[in-house]
Structure 1
Amino acid sequence: MRRNLAHHHNGLRFFESAARHLSFTRAAEELCVTQAAVSHQVRALEEALALQLFERRPRQVNLSPAGARLLAVLSSSFDQIESVLNELKRQGSSSLQLAVTPSFSSRWLMPRLPMFWDAHPDIELHLHHTAQGDALARGAADAAIIWTNSKPEKPGRLWAQRLFGTTLSPVCAPGLARPDAPLSTPDALRHYPLLHEDSIEDWQRWMLAAGVADAQVQHGPVIDDSNALLMAAMSGRGVALGRLALVADDLRSGRLIRPFECSIEADGAYWLIASPATAEQPRFKALVAFLQAEAKTPAEHHPG
């Protein structure tokens, strides 16, 4: 069976490209061969299988049911092969690919990274800024720092370490308060727009903790990115519940203020995730040790 598979390697490769593009011409361009070569390889594969993989029409080709079934298997297999090859290639180098969200990178990680680079000049840490949580699955990174409300669960396929949680507290621009509605008590927030990051539930919990009865928190924009949320607050668009781990530098510089000391624990936390193979690498263990040490240092005590 394996000898048969090897015999049809080119046919499978040419078929996968033609099926993905639904075009022999575009497959030929991708593979840097002639259209006739693609057609020949696909025909040979069809003859070997005694099946028609394409429904050929004038100026158009569509997959047959057998072709669609084969493409699904090949696409998944090729993706897995590429992911493994990328991981093996990275294992042989000194680089480490880390996926992070732009907000976490700019507000927490980047101020601390110079210390890691100074301590480990032999480790090439490459940051991939993405809001997508599937960077590991796509083979785009060795590890990722994600925000999640629960422990990542993929037994046997994922290494996960909780870094830290954070508290939420109202933050706003210094000049937001109006003379007719000074921010002297939490009840004054009734007169200001509230900015929501994910849902209204965090503001509901904060109002309850602050002793504000019957607070109306249903209104106000929902901005599902921490950076954009804080920029809106800085520009005077309203009051946001900021993650204190991310806003320490903004508070020190005066770009934001905390009108009230009351805070609540955020439901989520930041987790570091990686494949089990990556977790065993010395360069990754060095990064883990650094992040864990930094996570234990309160944000307000870190030099900005």
Structure 2
Amino acid sequence: MAPLSPRTKDKRHAQEKAMVNALASPPMRRNLAHHLNGLRFFEAAARHLSFTRAAEELCVTQAAVSHQVRALEEALSLLLFERRPRQVNLSPAGARLLAVLSSSFDHIESVLNELKRQGSSSLQLAVTPSFSSRWLMPRLPVFWDAHPDIELHLHHTAQADALTRGAADAAIIWTSLNPEKPGRLWARRLFGTALSPVCAPGLALPEAPLIDAYSLRNYPLLHEDSFEDWQRWMTAAGVSDAQVQHGPVIDDSNALLLAAMGGRGVALGRLALLADDLRSGRLIRPFECSIEADGAYWLITSPATAEQTRFKALAAFLEAEARALAKD
């Protein structure tokens, strides 16, 4: 057999090198590119358990979502949904895939947002309007004076997922759970608060003065989220047979307090946020009895953001203010 020419040897060497590189690559990496749209459409449909809501989120038609999911199922030779009239549920395979996709997409979005903001001196903080106006804003001038180089942008929202949606670098949320997830979410508890009845100073009726917890049966009770907190307070005040399942339910703290200030009833206020309102006389506490709220304010961010100098400065400030509040 005639020896191979140098040119033929180089060509064969290049082919062998390409083959070895292909074998060393992850086996599904090339196929993954063909499924990216299908995976994106599946994740949205699986998260909502609705092709219609997935289509609205992705700004496409319901038929497009259905087509992409079907194509993905055919490629995998698996059913990802159990389809019923007017309802879809995840199959075991679909549930397993959703768990991986959701965390992966969240991580990708978080990294993209961090890369986009790299080198920026701004910091986006998501807070609820009530926490911002009643606790944070009165204290922020001290932070701004100490850190004029940090552009703190407040993102006011009642949605707890502002951080995971990429709308903010960090968030202050109210929760009864520990939100920290090692490797995925950094969290620090700032403070909890006591709950106590508050109302407008002119609410009390001459014929039914607010002298004890029993007298509250003559007044409208204002509730935040549910009736449970008032039931707990009544029990703590010694009224075990109180009927509190009446009165407006207002799921926004600011609106609840505005209703109380307007004389619409008695609310259970978060005392940690009410110092200025009580000091000014906009609200009064007719009773000293209080209960601990079932929850606390937490500062949360991604582990990567937690290492940034500008965030560390904000976290140190907030934790110091929280400690000072505990001493008051």
The equivalences for 1:45-194 within 5 A come to 62-63=67-68, 65-66=70-71, 80-194=107-221
Offset at 1:198?
2.0
Aligned-partner Cα distance in 1 for 2:234–2:200: 20
| Match of residue 282 from structure 1 | 309
Offset at 1:16?
9.5
| Match of residue 273 from structure 2 | 246
Aligned-partner Cα distance in 2 for 1:202–1:300: 25
* Residue from 223, 232, 238 that aligns with 1:196: 223
- Tell me: CA distance 1:296–1:153, structure 2 relative to 1, closer, same or farther (3 Å): closer
Offset at 1:147?
0.4
Residue 256 (structure 2) pairs with residue 224 (structure 1): no
Aligned-partner Cα distance in 2 for 1:300–1:171: 22
Task: Mark the runs of 5 or more structure 1 residues left unpaired by the alignment.
Answer: 21-29, 31-54
Preserved contact between residue 248 and residue 300 of structure 1 (Cα < 8 Å): no
Offset at 1:205?
1.4
| Match of residue 19 from structure 2 | none
Say which SS state the counterpart of residue 125 (structure 1) adopts.
strand
Preserved contact between residue 174 and residue 255 of structure 1 (Cα < 8 Å): yes
Offset at 1:14?
9.1
Aligned-partner Cα distance in 2 for 1:79–1:157: 9
C-alpha distance after superposition, 1:197-221 (max 9, x if no partner)? 1221111111111122411111111
Preserved contact between residue 123 and residue 310 of structure 2 (Cα < 8 Å): yes
- Tell me: CA distance 1:181–1:8, structure 2 relative to 1, closer, same or farther (3 Å): closer
Offset at 1:252?
1.1
C-alpha distance after superposition, 1:12-51 (max 9, x if no partner)? 899999999xxxxxxxxx9xxxxxxxxxxxxxxxxxxxxx
Say which SS state the counterpart of residue 110 (structure 1) adopts.
helix
Aligned-partner Cα distance in 2 for 1:300–1:225: 27
Structural RMSD (CA):
3.3
Preserved contact between residue 245 and residue 299 of structure 1 (Cα < 8 Å): no
Offset at 1:64?
6.4
Stretches (4+) displaced over 6 A:
4-9, 11-20, 75-79
Preserved contact between residue 203 and residue 265 of structure 2 (Cα < 8 Å): yes
Aligned-partner Cα distance in 2 for 1:117–1:170: 34
Aligned-partner Cα distance in 2 for 1:182–1:98: 44
- Tell me: CA distance 1:92–1:168, structure 2 relative to 1, closer, same or farther (3 Å): same
Offset at 1:300?
10
The equivalences for 1:256-267 within 5 A come to 256-267=283-294
Preserved contact between residue 248 and residue 299 of structure 1 (Cα < 8 Å): no
| Match of residue 34 from structure 1 | none
Q: Which amino acid aligns with 1:244?
A: L
Offset at 1:89?
2.3
What is the aligned-residue identity percentage?
A: 75
Preserved contact between residue 95 and residue 125 of structure 1 (Cα < 8 Å): yes
TM-score w.r.t. the length of structure 1 is: 0.76
Aligned-partner Cα distance in 1 for 2:153–2:314: 12
Say which SS state the counterpart of residue 111 (structure 1) adopts.
helix
Preserved contact between residue 87 and residue 139 of structure 1 (Cα < 8 Å): no
Question: How many residues of Structure 1 are paired with residues of Structure 2 in the alignment?
Answer: 265
